[in-house]
Structure formats: structure tokens, C-alpha cells
Amino acid sequence: MSSVLTERVRSQFAPPRYLAFPFSGIDLSASGVKAVRLAETAYGLVLSKYAEERLPSGAFVDGEVTDPVVVTQKIIAAAKAAHIFAANVAVPESKSFIFETSVYGSTPKELHIGVEQHLDELIPLPPEEAVFDVIKTKREDRGNSRVVGVGLARRVVDDTLALFDDAHIDVRALEEETFAMARALLPVGDESTALIIDIGKTTTKVAITQNRIPQFSKTINIGGHSFTLAVQKYFGVTEEEARKIKAERGITPTEGNEEYLAAMLSTASAIRGEISLCLEYWQEKTHTSSQCEPVSHAILSGGNASIQGLPEYFEGALKIPVVSGDVFINFASRDRWIPSLSYTESLAYATAIGLALYDH
């Protein structure tokens, strides 16, 4: 999101460039903590450091930290490995409310006042318990502006800041995770309407973006771990072995693979069905709203986006091109720099990289 929750962030003024913090992002999810640090070079932006710390099952559930001691330890470890002392931090999509509205004015102050006057109509929270931020998308007639905003419960913001305070990490900005994903996966200047599908461990996040700004988002409570469990059940193997089989076989039809494929497709079909409903909702909305453009393509990201055959499977149902994402699309040319992070691993870092790119 191009405008961050500065109301709740400690620092209100950016330091001079020679004192500025490195471009850093930290993403906290059910699978673990991912931290990245970027660097500007003579030939463009590069990934300087990255780190991941896995979380034990149950430490982070449904967007809530349930074991703050363990999570804090993991944040400290990831930040230390990536040489981070200050970062932009994500808040879960499941804990946020994206809204779109038209308000009078054009300056940030005017837009905030305009939204605040009818905030209770835009997000399902009492105004006194909410924190929000907005970004202007276009100027309309009669002095009005079209804005996209994100609302959060003040408790979520306070809890997040407290968690990173305990880890001694300075939070420069908080951002809803799908805004960070869009910044990482879509090239600067992209004006298309895209569907982002981020398949994590326990959830799949869906976002529809216009001009790299999310207009709609949803969290589906099915993720890549369901694929792993299907493989475990079919082959009777350990979780680690199941992950390897999943990566090697994917959901590509091969001779003698029918029963395995049926087990995998039960999960893929459930995810596809939920995504189809989101896409249908948006495509129908384009017929009644001049503000919406039809989705032209979909981008896959997340730790389970590299499953073989998944783009083709989704493309067949969604009837739009589906491609695997490139989180380094806004970085230095591959002719000058090769990422140390493998392509498969990089897909899990879209949110963290997008957070770091906010400062670029």
C-alpha cells in the first residue's frame, strides 16, 4: 500500500539518505518468519540478505500470535541473520478490511477526514477501535477523489508493534500483506488488472489489483500443507518425504499416477473453487461499475506455488492466463546479477520483498 499506517508508527519523518535505514521487510505467517534486506548498487536493486525461521505448529494461528515468546525469538533470529534492526512489517489480510470509496478533497488530510466521517459504513469496526489509511487512485468530478483504504482493529496494530518492540526491531511501517505482494510481483508502471494467488502453508490469499493496488482480497483457509497431508496419507510417508514427493510429482498427469493425482486434486479443486468465486464476483462487478476492469491474468506466489502443473490446472478453470510470479521483476537485470535465493524458494518471499520495496 503506497500509504502506510503512520499514525501508529514511531518515526514520522524520513531520515536523510545518508542516515536512512536499509530497505528491509519482515513477514510473519503460520509457516514462519521471513526477513529480507535489499541493497542499491550501480546496476540496480539486489537482494543483500535473507533469512527464514520456521515456527512450530500452533505458534501463529488465523493471523494471531498464540505463543509470543517463541515468535519473538524467531523474529530476533531472522532479523539477526539478515542484519536487520529496522523494517517494514506486514499485517495479515485476514485481520484487515479493504474498502473503496469516493470522498471530497485531494490532499492526504482531506482524504483522511472524508473517510473518517463515514468510517463505520466502510469497515465493520467501531471507529474508536479502528486504525485506517488510504491512497488516492484517481481524481473525479466536483472535487472528489476515488480512494482505496485499509482498516484494522487498533488491537491488531498495538499487538504487532508490541511484538516487534520485544524483539528490539524498529517498525518503520505497517502494511497489509497483499499490498506488499502486488508491489513485488507486478512491474513498476503496470496498469493491468491482475489476480494474485498466494498459496501458503495453511492458507491461500487472493487479491485482485488494479494499477498494482489491491481492490479486493480474501483469505481461503486451505493451503499447501493439505497437499502434503494428501501425499502422506497416500504413500504412508513422513511429512518431509511427502514434501519431496509433492515437489517432484506435482499434479501433472502421468501413466500409473491416477490415484496419487486424485488425492492431490481434492485439495487443488477446493482452492480452485474458492478462487473461481472471487473471480466471478469481480468480473460481474465490472458490468455494473465503471471503476472496475476485468481481470486479464493471474500470478501465482507463495511457498507452494511451484507445484508442477498448478498454473495449467488453474488456467483451465479460470479461463485467463496463469503464470508463476517473479519476485525480482523490479530488481537489477539478470544480466548483471543472479539472486542467491533459488526461484522455488523466492516465491515464498513475495510479501517480505514487497515490504522492503516500499522504501525504494
67-111 confidence digits (pLDDT tens): 999 999 999 999 999 999 999 999 999 999 999 999 999 899 999
SS3 content of the chain, % helix, strand, coil (to 5): 40, 30, 35
First to last CA, the chain: 13
**Burial per residue of 132-151, b for 16 or more beta-carbon CB atoms within 10 angstroms, e otherwise:** bbbbbbeeeeeebbebbbbb
Give the residue-averaged pLDDT of 32-60.
95
State the amino acid at position 227 in one-letter form: F
Q: pTM value?
A: 0.91
Percent of the chain with pLDDT over 70: 94
- Give the pLDDT score at 325: 97
**DSSP element (H, E) containing 288:** none
- Does the pLDDT of residue 261 top 90, yes or no? no
pLDDT digits (tens, 9 = 90+) for 285-309: 998 888 889 999 999 999 889 888 9
3-state secondary structure of 179: helix
Dist CA 144 CA 122 (whole Å): 17
Dist CA 234 CA 222 (whole Å): 19
State the amino acid at position 357 in one-letter form: L
- Give the pLDDT score at 3: 40
Sign, CA dihedral 130-136-138-143, equals positive
Query: Phi/psi class of residue 32: alpha, beta or left (left: φ > 0; alpha: ψ in -120 to 50)?
Result: left
Which residues, including other chains, have CB under 8 Å from residue 310's CB and lie 6 or more apart? 199, 250, 251, 268, 300
- Does the pLDDT of residue 15 top 50, yes or no? no
- Give the pLDDT score at 310: 93
Whole-angstrom CA distances from 241 to 19, 236, 284 are 47, 10, 43
Give the residue-averaged pLDDT of 318-344.
95
Helix orientation angle between 225-235 and 239-249, rounded to the nearest 10 degrees: 100
pLDDT-based confidence at 5, cuts 50/70/90? low
Helix segments in the chain, DSSP class H:
68-81, 108-116, 154-166, 177-185, 225-235, 239-249, 258-285, 310-318, 343-346, 350-357
Cβ atoms within 10 Å of 24's Cβ, excluding its own: 28
- Give the pLDDT score at 17: 41
- Does the pLDDT of residue 51 top 80, yes or no? yes
- Does the pLDDT of residue 152 top 90, yes or no? yes
CATH number (2.40.260.10, 3.30.420.40, 3.40.50.300, 3.90.180.10) of 189-328 reads 3.30.420.40
Of the candidates 142, 155, 147, the residue with the CA atom closest to the CA atom of residue 116: 147
- Does the pLDDT of residue 12 top 80, yes or no? no
Give the residue-averaged pLDDT of 213-219.
95
pLDDT-based confidence at 19, cuts 50/70/90? very low
Q: Give the residue carrying C-alpha cell 499485517.
A: 91
3-state secondary structure of 22: coil
Per-position DSSP letters for 66-118, written without gaps between them: S-HHHHHHHHHHHHHHTT-SEEEEEE-GGGEEEEEEEEE-SSHHHHHHHHHTT
- Give the pLDDT score at 284: 93
pLDDT-based confidence at 21, cuts 50/70/90? low
- Does the pLDDT of residue 319 top 60, yes or no? yes
pLDDT digits (tens, 9 = 90+) for 217-258: 999 999 999 999 988 988 899 998 988 888 888 898 877 777
- Give the pLDDT score at 6: 46
- Give the pLDDT score at 183: 97
Q: What is the DSSP letter of 159?
A: H
- Give the pLDDT score at 22: 64
